[in-house]
Amino acid sequence: MMSAAWTVFRKELIDALRDRRTLLMVLLSSVAMGPLVLVLISGLVASFEKRAEERVVLVAGLEHAPTLVNHLERQTWTVKAPPADWERQLAARSLGDAVLVVTPGFEAELAAAEAPLVEIVSHTANSRAEASARGVERLLRGFSREQATLRLAWRGVAPALLEPMRVENRDLADSASRSAQLAFIVPYFVLMAVLYGAMNAALDTTAGERERGSLEPLLMNPAERSALVAGKWLAVAAVAMLIAVLSCLSFLPGQWLIRSEALAAMFRFGVGEAAAFVGLLLPLAAALSALLMAIAIRCKTFKEAQANATVVILVVTLLPLVLMFGQEGEKPWHLWLPALAQSTLMARVLKGEGMEPMEVLIPVVVAAAVVVVALGYVSRKLRSAALK
């Protein structure tokens, strides 16, 4: 029994690894994709950071407002004149900064306390300009407060009267939980890698074997059917795990490429995290392999099996979204659903939170149950599948 299963395992593994073209596609789509997305996101965040660091404010008619320019420069902002066709550029979204428009009479009206009008010009369809408009507004409020404080002080009124209370922001999230918010993509891509890794091998050893007409002769060997199924399943799960390991490891060099300093500091994914991921994914790879085999053994052709496996893909793709969109946080039942349980626990690893032994055990038990039921089904179906 054991030696037959081992023989089947070795053959199926060699067979799957020789399918270079499929393997390459899986590697490209699931192993290279994650780090690529990570790098793209980091590029985006880095460009925001760069803009924030530059501290440039565009003022049209800055020669009319030396007091305001003086204030802005004291806040370490650089004041620049906008390009000539700034209105058109804002509409075309090629200019990413809101423009402050000052009227010629600004300085005189300010001195006479006549509340001069300034305009912050932005474009609702231009999200970058909209974002910077908020920054400009904050700057102007600072300027107004400074002017008001000076005038009150001139009249002998304590400036504190203007501020009956003080407001400050405090963020409770530490760097680990901030990084988890952004790094939900890592568990997600790793889950996909396991699924796509298992998919081809699982379908090939069942529906593919039927389509080729090699299942019937295979059953004419004096080997236990359960041994044949066990060997096939082990090979499929091994391929799935191999892809999962590669996918986890690919995020290690991926994070060196992160261009945003703050992001790189927040995104903690070391060898320890990768190892924890692999450990959490092992039962999932086993369960998904068995499940896909059980679905595919009913199908006469590889194509039919692919169509049927879409259900599994959909479920595995959608379940982790419960975490992303769920407003109520983690629920105990999350751990009872494969895929959702793994993404919950992987998110915990990224947040640097611990796990109870029971919480690790539940998904393992569920996966074991899925494996037993699915493989039992495949063994029972094997003979009738061979004949049709």
Partner 1 sequence: MITVDNLSKRFVTGSGRQRREVAAVQGLSLVAADGRITGLLGPNGAGKTTTLRIAAGLIEPDAGRVLVDGLEVQREPRKALARMGVLSDARGLYPRLTARENIVYYGRLQGMTEAAAQARVDVLAEMLEMRPLLDRRTEGFSQGERMKTSLARALIHDPPNIVLDEPTNGLDVVATRALREALRRLRDEHGKCIVFSTHIMQEVERLCDRVIVVAGGRKVAEGTVAELLEQTGERDFEEAFVRLAYGPAAMAAQQGAAA
Helices (H), 257-270: 261-266
> How buried is 352 (Cβ within 10 angstroms: 0-12 exposed, 13-18 middle, 19+ buried)?
middle
23 binds partner 1 (CB under 8 A): no
Shortest distance (Å) from residue 312 CB to partner 1: 25
354 binds partner 1 (CB under 8 A): no
Stretch of residues binding partner 1 (CB under 8 A), selected from 78-86, 185-193, 335-343, 379-387: 379-387
Find the binder of partner 1 among 158, 167, 168, 222 (CB under 8 A).
Answer: 222
78 binds partner 1 (CB under 8 A): no
Number of residues in contact with partner 1 under rule CB under 8 A: 26
Shortest distance (Å) from residue 221 CB to partner 1: 4
What's the CA gap between 183 and 166, in Å, rounded? 35
Structure tokens at 359: 């919480």
Helices (H), 82-126: 86-91, 106-111
4 binds partner 1 (CB under 8 A): yes
Nearer to partner 1, 216 or 359 (CB): 216
Nearer to partner 1, 6 or 77 (CB): 6
Find the binder of partner 1 among 11, 259, 351, 380 (CB under 8 A).
Answer: 11
> How buried is 328 (Cβ within 10 angstroms: 0-12 exposed, 13-18 middle, 19+ buried)?
exposed
> How buried is 12 (Cβ within 10 angstroms: 0-12 exposed, 13-18 middle, 19+ buried)?
buried
Contact between 237 and 201 (Cβ < 8 Å): no
User: Which is nearest to 228 in space by CA: 285, 300, 293, 292?
Assistant: 293
Find the binder of partner 1 among 19, 87, 107, 330 (CB under 8 A).
Answer: 19
Shortest distance (Å) from residue 366 CB to partner 1: 33
Which residues, including other chains, have CB under 8 Å from residue 172's CB and lie 6 or more apart?
none
User: Which is nearest to 249 in space by CA: 31, 33, 52?
Assistant: 31
387 binds partner 1 (CB under 8 A): yes
Stretch of residues binding partner 1 (CB under 8 A), selected from 5-13, 236-244, 291-299, 331-339: 5-13
Shortest distance (Å) from residue 29 CB to partner 1: 21
Site for partner 1 in 160-219 (CB under 8 A): 209, 212-219
Which residues, including other chains, have CB under 8 Å from residue 272's CB and lie 6 or more apart?
none
Site for partner 1 in 239-278 (CB under 8 A): none
Shortest distance (Å) from residue 271 CB to partner 1: 34
The radius of gyration computed from the CA coordinates of the chain, to the nearest angstrom, equals 31
Residue pointed to by tokens 């007091």: 67
Find the binder of partner 1 among 2, 9, 13, 14 (CB under 8 A).
Answer: 14
Shortest distance (Å) from residue 30 CB to partner 1: 21
Can you give the binding site for partner 1, defined by CB under 8 A?
3-4, 7-8, 11, 14-15, 18-19, 209, 212-224, 383, 386-387
